[in-house]
Structure 1
Amino acid sequence: MENNRIVVLGAGESGVGAAMLAQKHGFDVFVSDFGAIASQYKERLQELNIAFEEKQHTSEEILNATEVIKSPGIPDKAPIIVALKKKEIPVISEIEFAKRYTDAKTICITGSNGKTTTSMLTYHILKKAGLNVGLAGNIGNSFAALVATADFDWYVLEISSFMLDDMYDFRADIAVLLNITPDHLDRYDYKLGNYAASKMRIAQNQGSNDTFIYCADDEETIKAMKHIRFNSKMYPFSIRKQIEEGAYLESNNMHININHKDPLTMSIIELALQGKHNIYNSMASGIVAKVLEIRNATIRESMGDFRNIEHRLEHVAKISGVEYINDSKATNVNSTWYALESVNTDVILIMGGVDKGNDYEMLKDLVRQKVRAIVCLGKDNKRIHEAFEDDVEVIVNTFSANEAVKMAYHLAKKGNTVLLSPACASFDLFKNYEDRGNQFKMAVKEL
């Protein structure tokens, strides 16, 4: 067996990035994808002369690896992973592999909700402060691709639970855990405790010079923390109680205090990101910035002029007094709860798609208070009808973004908000949540 053969499973952003980095460090690299490889990734592999296969996993090519880097989307139950584990061939994540080849410091952000927004905001503050910083992980570029092609001092990494599951020696200099709510439970034997344990891996291997930032108001986080011995410096954030070191809210002012040095106070009215959940996201980013001793003026300015990502509570248009918001990235119930919580008008809610075993109970109060009608957008909307038939007078079915927007337009009154916040995956009618969001925006612009 060759002692330097790396096999990469999955040829998406993370897989191709890992292959580029492995090739740069002299490994014999082979990439295998069980599905079809997207043209942009295939072209990159061909340009680099990296051997690959698609639409299959050839055992003879894979089971002779020294080490395997797997894409986060491949479950441990996949036959090829089972075969690798049986042969005791190490299987790691791209994040774990990439960290071996950089001395840069890492700020790792995870949580069931808000991690993309918090990662983007943290990156925005650091960049504005003049740090040499890259943004990677579950967002945009893969960490490995950036390590292979760039030279940053800091990385802000958005990290999913699937990435954490295959991280062993990796250590975050600053770890942020925003919240833990039921998501992807099909990968965790439908046990919230298993999923929570996966999220807590963000703090593994941390030492006394490292930082762990967490939400003191999140019950599942506090419960999961009881099983861990922390060595890092810990900073909580809360909107319910005063925090001595960390961040808290007091009569519409956000206070951040680290080491009792130059505390930051900022009115939440000044924040670019509005809504209760975004106060949490801003607090987490603010603590990171204060740990790095970034000036208060820079933090204030960054939090005031930040623009959120596409497909996350994105304002699309105002037509005849009706606001249209694209929140296609809301692929779980909790994200939809946050979206409804942040809208202050009556809502026509467009939701539906591939239901991941959703429990809609947590939405019922907000739906009763705010939602005038639900427009279902999906092939099978039975569970949405069952969940909300007693709470909403109008529930209608549609099977395209165009049809859903037209229906919402007829149902909405002046002063209402039409909110696309599906609470479901998009794969029944769309390529992905971006495709769903883009089709929604096009349909709104055609009104």
Structure 2
Amino acid sequence: MQTNKNIAILGAGESGVGAAYLAQQQGFDVFVSDMGVIAPKYKEQLQGWNIRFEEGKHTDDEILAAVEVVKSPGIPEKAPLIKKLKEKGIPVISEIEFAGRYTDAKMVCITGSNGKTTTTTLTYHILKKAGLNVGLAGNIGKSFAYQVATEKFDVYVLEISSFMLDDMYKFKADIAVLLNITPDHLDRYEYKMENYVASKLRITQNQTAGDYFIYCADDAETIKGMEGRSFAAKQLPFSIEKEIPEGACLRNDNIVINVNMENFEMSINDLALQGKHNTYNSMASGLVSKVLELRNPTIRESMMDIQPIEHRLEFIGRISGIKFINDSKATNVNSTWYALESMSSDVVLILGGVDKGNDYSMLTELVKQKVRAIVCLGLDNGRIHDAFEDVVDVIVNTASAAEAAQVAFHLAKKGDTVLLSPACASFDLFKNYEDRGQQFKEAVSQL
């Protein structure tokens, strides 16, 4: 019989505070610790619930007395306190792992280097429209733990990052979706791609024969990572390059989905979310919908009326014949590749921020073909200059969203597109990618 009911929560953001509330509800003695300053909103919640917390430090003795620790995905495994916990044999888990114990809802879990938010949002939109009692959580919306504590959903659509997956052990996805794997966050994976791939494939752990694994058959890293691994779940691949008998493929500009002898077809021209990357995202969402046996008219209607996601290829407006697009959510090179690939005009590209070991060479051809000038938005732009100084004639450094918007506007010509698609994290100049996107939108409105 376990008598120690102490649980420590590291990080007092959305997921940490939600986990604290659920833990308290489950009878744990909860202590929340954050190395930074806790946002007023979360501090008020913790105080209102009478949950003990500290900020600006970690009191090791208090945390090492816990029977289990729920940690924020942002805290790396290499952090000294995490090492101490592991040495003591104290389990360190994610909020998703913790909350998953207290719900028997069906889990639709979506991961991938790119397209997670779009696919998660689209899947949720379809399920909600179909009348399912569905929650949206993970990297998006209200914390999963808080919803488990306060709601009674039958299905959850969860956007899951590799950092979350690293601290998930017994949790099981009923439907696991892996969109793609491209180099990202390699600083957290000893700069080894195989470590990052292994992390992403944890989305399938604990699955059984009654579950489903949906993945992109066109993604080289996914296919390579799957070799030599066994999967208990039923596999449903999707592809725009080849014919897929069971899964999803592209035929004469139509998405064709076939699951358990049930078919769905829709022209890609009717999709609200356009571009090659969104065809993949729509296929993945469509496969989830058919696994859940939703009606074709509902799926079609949902794919036609979904609203574009903020900060992801978001059209801001047109000034003097120049189009402005906010793709601040593009925090890795591959996202920027997708953005450039979907552009049909000449581009003034705003790049830069915190570089996570980026390999810019995959952008070289597209930059040659489409980019008139590069505007750097970051404190250290050396690697961008090195990568593109022989490819484009003009590279300008800027240090604020307002300056970047102004400079890009002057460099662009009528008919061009100014594209903020940074390929980097935002923490050098901004709070997060949302803040970067918001400041850029405000700057454009002032032009």
Q: Normalising by structure 2, what TM-score?
A: 0.99
Residue 347 of structure 1 contacts residue 373 of structure 1 at CA under 8 Å; is this kept in 2? yes
Report the Cα distance in structure 2 between the residues aligned to 1:195 and 1:352, rounded to whole angstroms. Answer: 23
Kindly state the Cα deviation for residue 57 of structure 1 after the two structures are TM-superposed. 0.8
Kindly state the Cα deviation for residue 381 of structure 1 after the two structures are TM-superposed. 1.1
* Pairs within 5 Å for 1:420-435: 420-435=420-435
Tell me, which stretches of 5 or more residues in structure 1 are unaligned? Answer: none
**1:179 corresponds to 2:174:** no
* Pairs within 5 Å for 1:6-25: 6-25=7-26
Q: Secondary structure in 2 aligned to 1:163?
A: helix
1:270: which partner in 2?
270
Q: Secondary structure in 2 aligned to 1:272?
A: coil
Kindly state the Cα deviation for residue 413 of structure 1 after the two structures are TM-superposed. 1.1
Q: Secondary structure in 1 aligned to 2:15?
A: helix
Kindly state the Cα deviation for residue 308 of structure 1 after the two structures are TM-superposed. 2.1
2:376: which partner in 1?
376
2:345: which partner in 1?
345
Report the Cα distance in structure 1 between the residues aligned to 2:28 and 2:108, rounded to whole angstroms. Answer: 28
Q: Secondary structure in 2 aligned to 1:435?
A: helix
* Pairs within 5 Å for 1:91-130: 91-130=92-131
Kindly state the Cα deviation for residue 34 of structure 1 after the two structures are TM-superposed. 1.2
Residue 2 of structure 1 contacts residue 66 of structure 1 at CA under 8 Å; is this kept in 2? no
**1:64 corresponds to 2:65:** yes
**Identical aligned pairs, as a percentage?**
73
Q: After superposition, what is the alpha-carbon deviation per residue over 1:103-127, rounded to whole angstroms, capped at 9, x for unaligned?
A: 1111000000000100000000000
Report the Cα distance in structure 2 between the residues aligned to 1:304 and 1:405, rounded to whole angstroms. Answer: 32
Report the Cα distance in structure 1 between the residues aligned to 2:202 and 2:409, rounded to whole angstroms. Answer: 45
Residue 368 of structure 1 contacts residue 392 of structure 1 at CA under 8 Å; is this kept in 2? yes
Tell me, which stretches of 5 or more residues in structure 2 are unaligned? Answer: none
Q: Secondary structure in 2 aligned to 1:312?
A: coil
**1:315 corresponds to 2:315:** yes
| Range that drifts further, 100-109 or 408-417 | 408-417
Amino acid at match of 1:171: K
Amino acid at match of 1:136: A
Report the Cα distance in structure 1 between the residues aligned to 2:427 and 2:271, rounded to whole angstroms. Answer: 34
Q: Secondary structure in 1 aligned to 2:20?
A: helix
RMSD (Å), alpha carbons: 0.9
Question: How many positions carry a matched residue from both structures?
Answer: 446
Report the Cα distance in structure 2 between the residues aligned to 1:355 and 1:194, rounded to whole angstroms. Answer: 19
Amino acid at match of 1:266: M
Q: After superposition, what is the alpha-carbon deviation per residue over 1:237-256, rounded to whole angstroms, capped at 9, x for unaligned?
A: 00000000000012211100
Report the Cα distance in structure 2 between the residues aligned to 1:59 and 1:2, rounded to whole angstroms. Answer: 21
Amino acid at match of 2:71: K
1:198: which partner in 2?
199
1:212: which partner in 2?
213
Q: Secondary structure in 2 aligned to 1:208?
A: coil
* Pairs within 5 Å for 1:300-339: 300-339=300-339
Q: Secondary structure in 2 aligned to 1:390?
A: coil
2:222: which partner in 1?
221
Kindly state the Cα deviation for residue 2 of structure 1 after the two structures are TM-superposed. 5.0
Kindly state the Cα deviation for residue 322 of structure 1 after the two structures are TM-superposed. 1.1
Q: After superposition, what is the alpha-carbon deviation per residue over 1:144-167, rounded to whole angstroms, capped at 9, x for unaligned?
A: 011011110000000000000111
Q: Secondary structure in 2 aligned to 1:151?
A: coil
Report the Cα distance in structure 2 between the residues aligned to 1:189 and 1:2, rounded to whole angstroms. Answer: 38
Q: Secondary structure in 2 aligned to 1:234?
A: strand
Q: After superposition, what is the alpha-carbon deviation per residue over 1:373-418, rounded to whole angstroms, capped at 9, x for unaligned?
A: 1011111111111100111111111111111111111111111110
Report the Cα distance in structure 1 between the residues aligned to 2:264 and 2:338, rounded to whole angstroms. Answer: 26
Q: After superposition, what is the alpha-carbon deviation per residue over 1:62-116, rounded to whole angstroms, capped at 9, x for unaligned?
A: 1110111111111111111111111101111110110110011110000000001
Amino acid at match of 2:170: D
Amino acid at match of 1:274: Q
Q: Secondary structure in 2 aligned to 1:62?
A: helix
Kindly state the Cα deviation for residue 38 of structure 1 after the two structures are TM-superposed. 1.2
1:54: which partner in 2?
55
Kindly state the Cα deviation for residue 226 of structure 1 after the two structures are TM-superposed. 1.4
